[in-house]
């Protein structure tokens, strides 16, 4: 057997929200699986886009009772830290927090000696909403070009405005058409890639599913066969605001309160859960307090991506705000009802052929949501389509083998 191939997996790995991190595990699983058939072994290097080397858990919420003074103090600190963290993210991406030279040196140290660089996915082809990733992509691709290492951009989500008059649009266009980028796949808006970004006939753009559809296999987790618990995946109200959605925290508290009351009236068990982000966890605890629920109605905060997948596997069905909660549920064959704060959830509903299971923020009818979940649980999923979604990712990864050094 030849020496091991070295692949660098790049993305937002060290984040409290473990949705994007699980994509790394899915990619490892697929490369190992396909590599075994081709008699190729791998070593993987994790490269965090923001040069992090661990998750910042200093803003994890206290696990004390939501009514205690200790919790209130901790909550206030969490809010402050979360705001600072959010600002730091923006500053980081805009080069005011971490110098360009420092970041390129970090990428160089991760990339050197590798056979391929794979950008793992997530909603990162964007510059006009919440964060600007164009300078990050520019540095990654420039470093890869300097080292002559091929790059695969895998199943990225495309968000926000894309206008040829914008400087950041031009940056992304140059990145995507750079010859060092051998393949660029998207999980949603292939029309944007083809119509706006494709600048030469050699650009290899394709539409595939999100890599998270392989979560069940990658983590060796199956759904609990006899679960009677409904999962309620909540997100901070500020995320709606970030994407220009005109909805208040009070409206969301009222919505979740009514959903919970309907589930309770119908004698369903339920648990709230999050991806692990402190802001999301804070809002989940506000719902607990608003509805006067016991703390055991809140699923323990996942400390890593395995715990997130395992948490979701224990549900019969879910109502979810986070995209990867829906994708992991799909991988586990657990029906999901999505509530969109971002168009990517609506795109996902169309991709899996159940657009009726996904609702925009202005369609928050609690009874309709619960009845849709009941219908989805009875109907299940089209198993052939699940296979097609998984095949699209598998085939793309298989093709990427031809581009390795």
CATH class of 224-383: alpha beta
Q: Tell me the fold of 5-215+388-403.
A: Rossmann fold (3.40.50)
pTM: 0.91
pLDDT of residue 57: 61
pLDDT of residue 176: 96
Cβ count near 46 (within 10 Å):
16
Q: List all residues 6 or more positions away from 291 whose beta carbon is below 8 Å from its beta carbon.
A: 256, 257, 260, 261
For the stretch 9-29, pLDDT in tens is 999 999 989 999 999 999 999
Q: Where are the domains of the chain?
A: 5-215+388-403, 224-383
C-alpha to C-alpha distance for 340 and 347, rounded to whole angstroms: 10
DSSP per-residue codes, 286-327: HHHHHTT--GGGBPPPPSSHHHHHHHHHT-SEEEESSHHHHH
Q: Do domains 5-215+388-403 and 224-383 have the same CATH topology?
A: yes
Mean pLDDT value of segment 72-95: 46
Tokens 């804070």 locate to 282
Quote the mean pLDDT of the chain: 90
For the stretch 291-303, pLDDT in tens is 999 999 999 999 9
For the stretch 221-238, pLDDT in tens is 999 999 999 999 999 999
**pLDDT for residue 61 is more than 60:** no
Beta bridge partners of residue 118, listed in sequence order: 9, 152
Helix (H) or strand (E) holding 153: strand 151-158
C-alpha to C-alpha distance for 233 and 341, rounded to whole angstroms: 13
Question: Are 400 and 184 contacting, i.e. CB atoms less than 8 angstroms apart?
Answer: no
Residue 130's pLDDT band (boundaries 50, 70, 90)?
A: confident
């Amino acid at each position: 057997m030849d020496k091991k191939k070295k692949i660098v997996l790049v993305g937002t790995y060290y984040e409290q929200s473990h949705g994007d991190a699980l994509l790394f595990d899915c990619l490892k699983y697929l490369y190992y699986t396909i590599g075994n058939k081709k008699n190729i072994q791998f070593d993987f290097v994790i490269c965090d886009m923001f040069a992090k080397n661990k998750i910042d858990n200093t803003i994890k919420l206290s696990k004390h009772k939501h009514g205690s003074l200790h919790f209130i103090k901790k909550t206030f600190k969490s809010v402050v830290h979360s705001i600072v963290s959010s600002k730091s993210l923006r500053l980081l991406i805009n080069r005011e927090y971490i110098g360009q030279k420092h970041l390129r040196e970090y990428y160089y140290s991760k990339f050197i000696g590798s056979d391929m660089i794979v950008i793992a996915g997530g909603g990162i082809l964007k510059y006009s909403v919440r964060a600007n990733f164009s300078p990050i992509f520019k540095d990654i691709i420039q470093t890869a070009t300097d080292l002559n290492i091929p790059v695969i951009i895998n199943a990225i989500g495309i968000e926000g405005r894309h206008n040829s008059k914008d400087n950041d649009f031009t940056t992304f266009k140059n990145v995507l058409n750079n010859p060092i980028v051998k393949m660029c796949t998207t999980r949603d808006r292939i029309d944007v890639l083809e119509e706006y970004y494709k600048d030469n006939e050699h650009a290899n753009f394709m539409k595939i599913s999100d890599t998270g559809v392989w979560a069940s296999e990658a983590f060796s987790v199956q759904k609990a066969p006899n679960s009677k618990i409904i999962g309620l995946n909540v997100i901070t109200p500020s995320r709606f605001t970030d994407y220009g959605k005109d909805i208040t925290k009070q409206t969301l508290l009222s919505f979740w309160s009514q959903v919970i009351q309907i589930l309770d009236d119908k004698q369903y068990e339920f648990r709230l859960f999050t991806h692990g982000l402190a802001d999301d966890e804070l809002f989940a605890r506000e719902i607990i307090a608003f509805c006067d629920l016991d703390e055991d109605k809140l699923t323990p905060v996942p400390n890593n991506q395995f715990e997130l997948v395992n948490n979701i596997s224990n549900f019969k069905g879910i109502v979810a705000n986070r995209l990867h909660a829906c994708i992991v549920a799909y991988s586990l064959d657990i029906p999901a009802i999505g509530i969109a704060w971002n168009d990517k959830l609506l795109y996902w509903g169309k991709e899996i052929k159940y657009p009726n299971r996904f609702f925009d923020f202005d369609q928050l009818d609690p009874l309709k949501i619960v009845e849709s979940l009941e219908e989805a649980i009875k109907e299940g999923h089209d198993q052939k389509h699940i296979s097609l979604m998984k095949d699209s990712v598998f085939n793309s990864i298989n093709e990427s083998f031809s581009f390795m050094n």
